[in-house]
A and B are shown apart, each in its own frame.
Chain A
Amino acid sequence: MFLLSDLFRDYLIVFLQASFVALGVLFAYVLIRHGVATWQEQRDERVRALYQPDVDAVLTSTRPDDLAAAIDRLQAAPPRHLTRIGAMLIKPLRVTSGSPVDAVRAAAAQLGLTERWMKDLEVHTWWRQAEAARALGLIRADGALRPLLARLEDPHEEVRAAAVEALGHLGDPGCVPALLRALPDASRHQRARVVESIRELGPNVAHALVAHARAHPDDLAIVAELIGFTGAASAADDVLAWSSHTDPKVRAASLQALGSLGLDDRAYYYALRALGDTSDAVRAMAARALGRSRRADAAPYLAQHLGDEWLVAAHAATALRMLGPSGERELKARQEAPGLAGVLARQMLWERRSRPDGGGPT
């Protein structure tokens, strides 16, 4: 009789042997990997403990002599520890600025780390390029502007991202056009980084932003948002003009920016007019801007929108909550109203009572 076992047995035995070998290899790998990783963690901890006092001395030094002495001590470290020392030096810079940055820049230059990071920008492992770009940005390295600008064209997204962040740290207004050219990058995260970097450059970038928007009308909405984020009040007139743009996204972004910059008399009337816009998003941003203006005479106009579409009504209600007594009057007048207007009015009155600060801006 034909037996399955005759047909398959030999193959199954070979397969079983191969599986056993794979099992053994994986078992050995996982154990070795665990041992090596544990050893590396312990080594890193030892290295950290060894150099932390000198790294702290660099970061906190107030006199040039102290700084020089700390750098000298770090220079005695074996080359294999330099990468770790570099990471320890730059880590605190993510949350600090001022003299520690200068001290770390000096230390990185003397330890040869700056030169190493510059070279790392050209290697072909993307994570080393990205780390190097971030490090150069954090120490505001001299001469890093051009190589970092070149990395904005890198094929790997993470390297471009690191370059954007680093350029923001460098604080050189000369990089604004290049950063703005990076805006159309497909990733929203990258756009957010560009926004953040431009924000770091501060209100002085207004001129470059407006020029970019004129040259690239497709970016009007994001530029308007950027102006709001950077607080570039000198661009307020342009933003006001964009609040009448044909694209509702641009109108909404402009009103959002105006809300952040603050409304002067002219902008106030533009915002009032925008409450009658055909787009929900525009009306909502107009209500938000009026709430932030804290102008009491806006209350009756906002109150008319408590029964509007949800997004508009919610922003109008929040704005009334922020307007103080005039807003409260309007809310009280509508707390018995049927539907959404009444519910929102009651909620905002309750929030005013339980949070006397008015609940903060939206």
Chain B
Amino acid sequence: MRGVFVTLLLVFEQLVLLYFFAINTSYLVCSVLAFFQLRQHRHRWTTRELEAVVQSPATPGVSVIAPAYNEQTTIVESMRSLLLLNYPQFEVICVNDGSKDDTLKRATEAFDLVEAPMAVDSVIKTAKVRSIYRSLTHAEFVMVDKENGGRADALNAGINAARYPLICLIDADSLLEPNALTQAVLPFLESPDTLGVGGIIRVVNGCKVEAGRVTEVRVPSNWVARFQVVEYLRAFLAGRVAHSAMGALLIISGAFGVYRRQEVLDAGGLEHRTIGEDMELCVRMHRIMRDRKQPYRLVFLPDPVCWTEVPESTAILGNQRNRWQRGLFQVLGYHRNMIGNPRYGIVGMLALPYYVLFEALGPLIEISGYIVTIGALFYGLINWRYAELMFLLSVVYGTLISLAAVVLEEISYRRYKRASDLLLLIGLGIIENFGFRQLTTWWRIKGTYDYLRGKGGWGAMTRTGFSAK
């Protein structure tokens, strides 16, 4: 009996080792692919291109849709920044999703909102819309006030009210850079097959924000936020650039994504029963287009920047990661018959299995690895030196991937101008291996457990507001 157990332990230990190499090597491969993509991209999209978009009569109008739920601290600043966008034809639709605080009141005072009759093409069913407000000072600003139905439901109400062929879905607390829309629209002009474009999400904590614009980019002083800067660089500059290049982009972040309105309507809008509605929409679009055998593109662009405030406390960050994990499981559950299905090409055969193996099951395998290592030490299957070696290797490999992300940032956009910030980012890539990474794994395991228990809901997110920075 003991022999069988030891053999199983031995086999599992080897599998974990194999998994560790596979996951980290896949990240490294993504980084290398992203390196070449970013170099090409920088030469390709020049300032001249942006001017052409701004001046061209062929540039399509964009409806920017921002759902707001209890956003009284950031609503005015966020909407102001949106109204400053450098784009020839756009409207900003803020959807107040039954906020219990003064979100509507603050917006009404700041933008001189008046209740206005407004005809809406209600293609997608949503919770009841109470009123539509328009601004007397900003003709392009519309506020939809509706009963609470969740983020996806609010976005659907905004999509119904949108006038333009392209819709930009963002979070109300996000700050878009002035040229973000212009840059995000380029792939739509480039190819009529483009259905959606995602931009990069960067961490605004620690940056200097003036009049709704980020004027100085700095690494945050809060350690929880600092770790997330490196995480975001890794996820966007390495992961999404590479996935997009392979035609396997499964997420356009809910914080900033531009879509063709008609295609979103045809797909039935955002799924309000999931908390991973951004990923769900992308996967559904892949599914629909591949079922129809129509050419399409979902693209990630690394230069349209959306600045977002990330959690600064472990409790809120834990809630967020728990929610992301539950959302991931929900989406994979909805579309389980796409996984490993050759009918869905690279999405079914590579992207979705990658998400199952490395994103959904990753935390479970990682924690099992720790447990098995302890077990193997106990049974004398490995010695301490070997365990130390393994740990050192995981730290070095993890650091290598973080450093690669910093290199990608440096060769592409150089947002962090100070050498001290750059060194700090590299340092964070090392330090995160001693506690933060394990904590993240733990939150994701809790998320997996909560998903299996059927727990729903978003959890709380406290904002400090941009003006305070």
The reply to whether A33 and B393 form a contact with Cβ atoms under 8 Å apart is no
Closest to B381 in A: A4
Contacts of B59 in A (CB 8 A): 192
The reply to whether B119 and A1 form a contact with Cβ atoms under 8 Å apart is no
Most chain A CB within 10 A, of B51, B56, B117, B393, is at B117
Q: How far is the CA of A34 from the CA of B191 in the complex (A)?
A: 35
The reply to whether B396 and A189 form a contact with Cβ atoms under 8 Å apart is no
The reply to whether B422 and A34 form a contact with Cβ atoms under 8 Å apart is yes
The reply to whether B56 and A30 form a contact with Cβ atoms under 8 Å apart is no
The reply to whether A30 and B116 form a contact with Cβ atoms under 8 Å apart is no
Contacts of B191 in A (CB 8 A): 186-188
The reply to whether the CB of A314 lies closer than 8 angstroms to some CB of chain B is yes
The reply to whether B119 and A317 form a contact with Cβ atoms under 8 Å apart is yes
Min Cβ gap A176→B in Å is 18
The reply to whether the CB of B190 lies closer than 8 angstroms to some CB of chain A is yes
The reply to whether A9 and B403 form a contact with Cβ atoms under 8 Å apart is no
The reply to whether the CB of A241 lies closer than 8 angstroms to some CB of chain B is no
Q: How far is the CA of A8 from the CA of B383 in the complex (A)?
A: 12
The reply to whether A192 and B56 form a contact with Cβ atoms under 8 Å apart is yes
Contacts of B389 in A (CB 8 A): 5, 9, 12-13, 16
Q: How far is the CA of A4 from the CA of B18 in the complex (A)?
A: 13
The reply to whether A19 and B190 form a contact with Cβ atoms under 8 Å apart is no
Q: How far is the CA of A26 from the CA of B406 in the complex (A)?
A: 10
Contacts of B117 in A (CB 8 A): 343, 346-347, 350
The reply to whether B119 and A343 form a contact with Cβ atoms under 8 Å apart is yes
| A 155-189 contacts with B by CB, 8 A | 158, 165, 186-189
The reply to whether A344 and B119 form a contact with Cβ atoms under 8 Å apart is yes
Contacts of A26 in B (CB 8 A): 400, 403-404, 407
Given known contacts A5-B386, A347-B118, is B400 in contact with A22 (CB within 8 Å)?
A: yes
The reply to whether the CB of A270 lies closer than 8 angstroms to some CB of chain B is no
A13-28 Cβ-contact flags toward B at 8 Å (1 or 0): 1011001101100110
The reply to whether the CB of A229 lies closer than 8 angstroms to some CB of chain B is yes
Pick from A16, A94, A127, A158: contact of B51, CB below 8 A.
A94
The reply to whether A23 and B403 form a contact with Cβ atoms under 8 Å apart is yes
Q: How far is the CA of A134 from the CA of B56 in the complex (A)?
A: 17
The reply to whether the CB of A280 lies closer than 8 angstroms to some CB of chain B is no
A233-265 Cβ-contact flags toward B at 8 Å (1 or 0): 000000000000000000000000000000000
Q: How far is the CA of A347 from the CA of B407 in the complex (A)?
A: 53
Q: How far is the CA of A15 from the CA of B397 in the complex (A)?
A: 10
B41-59 Cβ-contact flags toward A at 8 Å (1 or 0): 0011000100110011111
Min Cβ gap A132→B in Å is 13
Contacts between the two chains (Cβ within 8 Å), count: 138
Contacts of A22 in B (CB 8 A): 400
The reply to whether the CB of A37 lies closer than 8 angstroms to some CB of chain B is yes
Which segment of A50-58, A72-80, A105-113, A193-201 sits at the interface? Answer: A193-201
Contacts of A313 in B (CB 8 A): 119
Pick from B186, B376, B399: contact of A4, CB below 8 A.
B376
Contacts of A351 in B (CB 8 A): 116
The reply to whether the CB of A269 lies closer than 8 angstroms to some CB of chain B is no
Which segment of B9-17, B65-73, B197-205, B241-249 sits at the interface? Answer: B9-17
Min Cβ gap A328→B in Å is 15
The reply to whether the CB of B100 lies closer than 8 angstroms to some CB of chain A is no
Given known contacts A23-B400, A192-B189, is B422 in contact with A30 (CB within 8 Å)?
A: yes
The reply to whether the CB of B235 lies closer than 8 angstroms to some CB of chain A is no
The reply to whether the CB of A116 lies closer than 8 angstroms to some CB of chain B is no
The reply to whether B403 and A30 form a contact with Cβ atoms under 8 Å apart is yes
Most chain B CB within 10 A, of A15, A29, A33, A34, is at A34
Pick from B116, B192, B386: contact of A9, CB below 8 A.
B386
The reply to whether B376 and A165 form a contact with Cβ atoms under 8 Å apart is no
The reply to whether B381 and A3 form a contact with Cβ atoms under 8 Å apart is yes
The reply to whether B121 and A310 form a contact with Cβ atoms under 8 Å apart is yes
Pick from A13, A27, A355: contact of B403, CB below 8 A.
A27
The reply to whether the CB of A272 lies closer than 8 angstroms to some CB of chain B is no
The reply to whether A188 and B139 form a contact with Cβ atoms under 8 Å apart is no
Contacts of A189 in B (CB 8 A): 186, 189-190
Pick from B48, B186, B188, B376: contact of A134, CB below 8 A.
B48
Pick from B14, B58, B411: contact of A195, CB below 8 A.
B58
Given known contacts A9-B386, A23-B396, is B406 in contact with A1 (CB within 8 Å)?
A: no
A-B contact pairs, 13 of them (CB 8 A): A4-B13, A9-B385, A12-B389, A19-B396, A31-B419, A34-B414, A34-B422, A188-B192, A192-B52, A192-B59, A199-B57, A313-B119, A317-B119
Top 9 A-B residue pairs of the complex, sorted by shortest distance between their CB atoms: A5-B386, A189-B189, A346-B117, A192-B58, A343-B119, A127-B43, A344-B119, A310-B121, A189-B190
